[in-house]
Amino acid sequence: MTLHTQTIHELRAQLRRSKVSAREVTQALLDRIAALDRKLKAYIWLNRDDALAQAEAIDRTGAAKDGKPLAGVPIAIKDLINVEGQPCTCASKILQGYVAPYDAFVIRQLREAGAVLLGRTNMDEFAMGSSTENSSWGVTRNPWDLERIPGGSSGGSAAAVAADEAIAAIGTDTGGSIRQPAALCGCVGLKPTYGRVSRYGLVAFASSLDQIGPFTKDVEDCAILLGVLAGHDVKDSTSVAQAVPDYTRALGKSVKGLRVGIPKEYFIAGTDREVAAAVRGAIQKLQSLGAEIVELSLPHTEYAVAVYYLIATAEASANLARFDGVRYGLRVAGDDPIEMYRRTRGAGFGPEVKRRIILGTYALSAGYYDAYYLKAQKARTLIRRDFEKAFEKCDVIVTPTSPTAAFKAGEKMDDPLQMYLSDVFTLSVNLAGICGISIPCGFTTRPKLPIGLQIMGKPFGEEMILRVAHAYEQATEWHLQRPNL
């Protein structure tokens, strides 16, 4: 039995029956990381002794037999979520040396569920990017082809799960940063409804768009992990006080009679031919399973990229103002406070973060607020209304997750617009505040690279998208394929 290849639900059964110990599982993952991560670079930070101590405590207390949903399961954490006593750099030089003084809400949830916190995964700096190339720690590689990127900004989490360097992982999604890397690495990634998972303890990029969510090897694991992460938190004013269902109960149900919406705006020129064919094949599979296919339109989709890069950068400009060298992280001395701020930020922030701060500051500046930021907010309302109308006609909406498979490292670094267009199919979910999941639906040829299917749902419709995703997954075998490392 190869422990590092197991899923949450497979390990859980073995741990509860004492067929394996939490320490053995954690050691297997640490051995896997030691063997592979020098070339993959999925992790920024790893504390082997602490991970083993967590596992031994679970074995000693018998937590796995007490029914805790994640007892003994090693989970990787994206490096912008605070874990008490661990570094939290957001892959940025400006936060080097910072150690988190408290646990984020989701970390408390994971601890209570018995998870072993394995380490911190690489990411685009402050979650700004689509390739995990904007990291002060170096580039993470795609397990399917080490010359290619894993997607971003949660590329380290996606790569760790796809390469069996973690049983599951936590990421964040501001404009596709869970779903796009999940698609490019061939795993499952879910962006919850805004307000479903607390953002307390998350280092903010764009506060009206950010959400924390799971990366897993299959849909059942995704349902289990989402059930742990979700819940109301009084420390987050955007957290919604709504009961958390048992998401696993949605699995195994037929999709017969469900209405699957296909928006014409998501099947456009520029989408890779093999990606389009794989997604069309997935739609046909859902139809063969009894789903009703409904053609529909989301007419304001064409504005999503522009709207996102005004709203997200404006919020980033405000949120990142706190990093000034005064209270924590990097400080570069200057003759006066203003000079110190300028030098600290000049040395601490990378090029992409600087670009977005400048864009956001410009959009919020006097004389331009109405022309850019306010207009973008109005267009965002129109995009949300498009989805409200569409969901009157269908139960879920199905699209490609990304217009292409993983591209080569460095291929788009000199062309920010092309990089931004990598998220063209995922941005609207965040702008509308709804939920979405990406699952494997095929591969390209020469080279063999994963393709993702995106399933979008109504606000707090996670049960429905998990139901559809699971039905499709169980009718195919794409999720069973693993990269040859």
Task: Supply the residues annotated as catalytic.
Answer: 78, 153, 177
Neighbours of 429 (CB within 10 A): 29
- Give the DSSP letter string of 237-248: TT----PPP-GG
Which structure tokens are listed for 450? 């994963």
Q: Rounded CA gap, 439 and 219, in Å?
A: 8
- Give the DSSP letter string of 200-247: TTBPPSSTTT-EEEEEESSHHHHHHHHHHH----TT-TT----PPP-G
Q: Where are the alpha helices (DSSP H) in 142-212?
A: 155-162, 179-185
Nearest to 216 by CA among 249, 153, 248, 171: 171
Q: Rounded CA gap, 266 and 50, in Å?
A: 45
DSSP state of 368: T
Which structure tokens are listed for 19? 């067929």
CB–CB of 118/111 below 8 Å? no
Most distant pair of Cα atoms in the chain: their distance = 70
Q: Rounded CA gap, 258 and 244, in Å?
A: 23
SS3 429: helix
CB–CB of 223/248 below 8 Å? yes
DSSP state of 450: E
DSSP state of 66: G
CB–CB of 92/129 below 8 Å? no
**Cα distance from N-terminal residue to C-terminal residue, the chain:** 18
Nearest to 44 by CA among 128, 203, 149, 154: 154
Which structure tokens are listed for 287? 């139809």
Q: Rounded CA gap, 332 and 355, in Å?
A: 21
DSSP state of 449: -
Q: How many residues does the chain have?
A: 485
Dihedral angle of Cα 388, 173, 166, 228, to the nearest 10 degrees: -60
